[in-house]
Structure 1
Amino acid sequence: MLRIIRYLILAVIVAVLVIVSMANREMVVLTALPTGLAEVAAWNASVELPLFLVALGGVAVGLLVGFFLEWMRESKHRSEVAKRQKQVRALNREVTRLRGGPNDTSDEVLAILDQSAARKAS
């Protein structure tokens, strides 16, 4: 049921984007520099694109910049998690070593009884 609702919402979003794109097909000129600065620099790159590409491209670039900044902000949390996981693995190895390994089934009480039996026999 939730999958159907998700697909319906996605279909509505796609339909709205297509309608807005078709309504904004006019060509616009994008220039790299303002007119005054372009005269001083003697250079001004420009490109002619449909308006909907400019709008959707701006949204896409904004999303990518936001995702990157969020990824950078969370890097300290990811490094802390990696450090904690390394500590957990080291502690698990130490616990396994102190218990005598995964295949060691000897018991300390049995070892003491074996030692006392060996003393009585000698």
Structure 2
Amino acid sequence: MRAIRVFFFVVLAVVLVLVAAANREFVTISLLPEALAPFAGGQWSLTMPAFVALFLAMVFGVLVGLVWEWLRESGLRAESGRRAQHLADLEREVGHLRQTHAAPRDEVLAILDDAARKPANPAALPAQGTTLPAPR
């Protein structure tokens, strides 16, 4: 994947250098029509090489596209945030339900559950800290 990326950037650099070399003549870019320029005051035109104007137009187009997509996806980001909050609420509720349902419902059932977990004869267990097997 890295080789493809490097290849792409090398091809892009060669194309940009060729475009710059082919468009070195100067052009004048007017930002306002000549009839409106005296009312706005100042000089509203720039003189630059043609490739600079072309590259600036491409950068401007990319920036406009980025802003446009960011604004277009704002609804999707908001919906994603709402769904993430809803998911966190549901996970919290499931955790609470697990704790609630795992607890004994009745004192008698709790005693029976506790008795079922303990062995009937505690002496039948090996002493703590020994490696001896339990007596038969």
Residue segments in structure 1 that go unaligned for 5+ positions in a row = 118-122
1:75: which partner in 2? 74
- TM-score after normalising by structure 2: 0.70
Verify: 1:113 aligned to 2:109, yes or no.
Answer: yes
What SS does the corresponding residue of 2:35 show, helix, strand or coil?
A: helix
Give per-residue Cα distances to partners, 1:35-84, cap 9 Å, x unaligned: 12224555442222111110011011001101111111111011001000
Runs of at least 4 residues of structure 1 off by over 6 A?
A: none
Distance 1:88 1:6, change over 3 A: same
Please name the residue that 1:24 is paired with: 23
Alignment TM-score, normalising by the size of structure 1: 0.77
Structure 2: any 5+ residue segments left out of the alignment? 114-136
Contact 1:32–1:44 (CA under 8 A) maintained in structure 2: no
The answer on whether the counterparts of 2:104 and 2:110 sit within 8 Å (CA) in structure 1 is no
> Matched residue pairs, number?
113
Quick one: structure 1 residues 92 and 42, their matched pair in 2 at CA, closer, same or farther if it must change by over 3 Å? closer
Cα separation, partners in 2 of 1:21 and 1:114, compared to 1, 3 Å: same
Task: Quote the sequence identity (%).
Answer: 35
Higher relative contact order by CA 8 Å / sep ≥ 6: 1 or 2?
A: 1
Partner Cα separation in structure 1 for residue 74 and residue 92 of structure 2: 27
Corresponding residue number in structure 2 for 1:120: none
Please give the per-residue CA displacement for 1:67-121, whole angstroms capped at 9, x wherever unaligned: 11111111101100100000000111111112218xx9x554785523679xxxx
RMSD of aligned Cα (Å): 2.7
1:1-122 aligned within 5 A:
2-39=1-38, 41=40, 43-100=42-99, 106-108=102-104, 112-114=108-110
CA shift for structure 1 position 10? 1.8
Q: Cα gap change, 1:97/1:26 in structure 2, threshold over 3 Å: closer, same or farther?
A: same
